[in-house]
Amino acid sequence: MPFYQHPFFWTLVKILLLLAFLVNVAGLLTWVDRRLGGVIQDRIGPNRAYIPLLGKKLRVAGLLHTAADGLKFFFKEDFVPPRADKLLFAIAPIISMFPVLAIGAVIPMGDTICPGSIVGKSAAGNTVWPWVQRLGQCGIETVGSGIDAYKLAPITLMVAPLSVGLLYVFAIAGQGIVGAAIAGTSSDNKFSLMGALRAASQMVSYEVAMGLSLVGAMMLYGTIRLDEMVRWQNENAWGVFVQPLACVLFFVAAVAEQKRIPFDLPEAESELVSGYFTEYSGAKFMMFYFAEYAEVVTSSMLLVTIFFGGWSLPFFHRDGLTLAFGDNTIFQSHVPHIWMIIIGVLTFFGKTILLCWFQAVVRWSLPRFRYDQLMKLGWRVLLPASLANILVTGVVWLAISSSSASTQMIFKILGDCTQAVVALAATYGIIRFIIGFFTPSVHNPLRIMSAQKRTAPGGNETLPIQT
């Protein structure tokens, strides 16, 4: 058996793919966060780091700041407060980094690959790129013939195709509290301790709302496996349409879990210096810092998977494009399986990046909550709302599933309509974006005397604008 048939090999590849995405996007997010903040606030944002290259300054739009920051973290003194608990102080950043990366294990990055259906031979002996059936799973297939024949198992694009799926996510995500709490208590610093207390109570509070907000979705999808959830959404309607309240609740709870603005009380600079990681520096600080951004990515992945259709695109299914409302098929075109896999993976990552961007915009738009407001929001708004959501979802779902076939067909058509809405909205957005991009900006320069003198002899010639 060649190495690529070994399941362990594919697991390794998937881990690498996931980590590569997670680490790179999180790293980029540190840049995006600052650059985007600058642009939102009518500034340029970080753009000064450069590499001298052939007498020019290579700046790459400020991307080098990320590299510079990383280098800086590695060369900084690894400071440990003299009276800190050395062991706990050292493992705290690892503990807070671990769950973020571990959550990614159950997130499906694309549809299950049927290796046997990727390449085929036509009757004439030519190589063909076949498509697979829309429904049903591909089993273990035998490829080749004779001595070369071997069996291929389908490759799920999740690191660990766990049947407990979402439960695993909750279990792991809960460990984040431990990291923050240990970091704060082991630092021997009042601010750190207060930050840790805030972090722990905030995360515990929002954990509840986060878990309960997804119960409705689980009821609807009828599964807790994340890839199954995506398939349900692909066939029916995106979670954001069937569970809009849960989507909002989950999003809010997820932001609070990340301890990002507007819920950044555990590390509120104006109050607590840096909160629970005040005493950290160098690579340990980088782990906290990086974990925060990685958390943005994983939470975006979860949101995409549960509420935004995961790898699926409207009207695109395993067998290709099927434009249909209910039973009325308007247009159908089969697409080879390999393309569907590639499109699915790109779609998933694309949606994730879009949500990361949205989270950054949120961070730069909203002011921080007061602590009591935070607690009120968690316990008195999010929790009752998620409970109500479960109740309403249950009742409605019961009503729908016990209704007649024609009624169910109406809902099926409605579901397809939401797919159409998404497709139209996306198309409109893209067109709007392109048109907007190519419409020149209108500026009204002030004609003041000194400005006119700028280019006069002795005036200060302005240089080309650096971006």
Q: How far is the CB of 33 from another protein (least distance, A)?
A: 12
Q: How far is the CB of 456 from another protein (least distance, A)?
A: 9
Q: Give the tokens for residue 7.
A: 């399941």
203 or 252: whose CB is closer to another protein? 252
Q: Which one, of 341, 344, 343, 317, lies nearest residue 331 by Cα?
A: 317
Q: Give the tokens for residue 252.
A: 């809010």
134 or 454: whose CB is closer to another protein? 454
* Cβ contacts of 323 within 8 Å, gap of 6 or more: 315, 329, 330, 331, 332
Q: Which one, of 7, 392, 336, 427, lies nearest residue 219 by Cα?
A: 392
Q: Give the tokens for residue 307.
A: 């509420």
Q: How far is the CB of 215 from another protein (least distance, A)?
A: 22
Sign of the torsion angle spanned by Cα atoms 187, 191, 197, 203: negative
Q: Please give the angle made by the CA atoms of 192, 193 and 196, to the nearest 5 degrees.
A: 85
What is the residue type of 184? G
Question: Could you give the CA distance from residue 421 to residue 169 in angstroms, rounded to a whole number?
Answer: 30
Q: How far is the CB of 32 from another protein (least distance, A)?
A: 11
Q: How far is the CB of 366 from another protein (least distance, A)?
A: 6
- Name the region of 150 (left: φ>0; alpha: ψ -120 to 50; beta: rest): beta
Q: Give the tokens for residue 215.
A: 């119960």
Q: How far is the CB of 256 from another protein (least distance, A)?
A: 14
Q: How far is the CB of 433 from another protein (least distance, A)?
A: 8
Q: Contact, 77 vs 281, CB < 8 A?
A: yes
Cα separations in angstroms, 184 against 168, 188, 279, 294, 384: 26, 8, 9, 20, 31
121 or 454: whose CB is closer to another protein? 454
1 or 448: whose CB is closer to another protein? 448
Q: How far is the CB of 258 from another protein (least distance, A)?
A: 17
Q: How far is the CB of 374 from another protein (least distance, A)?
A: 13
Q: Which one, of 217, 274, 220, lies nearest residue 246 by Cα?
A: 217
Q: Which one, of 361, 359, 175, 202, lies nearest residue 267 by Cα?
A: 202
Q: How far is the CB of 37 from another protein (least distance, A)?
A: 9
Q: How far is the CB of 101 from another protein (least distance, A)?
A: 29
Burial string for 364-397 (b: 16+ CB within 10 Å, else e) reads: eeeebbeeeebbebbeeebbebbeebbeebeeee
Q: Which one, of 349, 410, 400, lies nearest residue 222 by Cα?
A: 400
Q: Which residues bind another protein (CB under 8 A)?
A: 36, 39-44, 248, 361-362, 364-366, 433, 436-437, 440-441, 443-451, 453-454, 457-460, 462-463, 465-467
Q: Give the H/E segment covering residue 331.
A: strand 328-334
Burial string for 83-101 (b: 16+ CB within 10 Å, else e) reads: ebbeeebebbbebbbbbbb
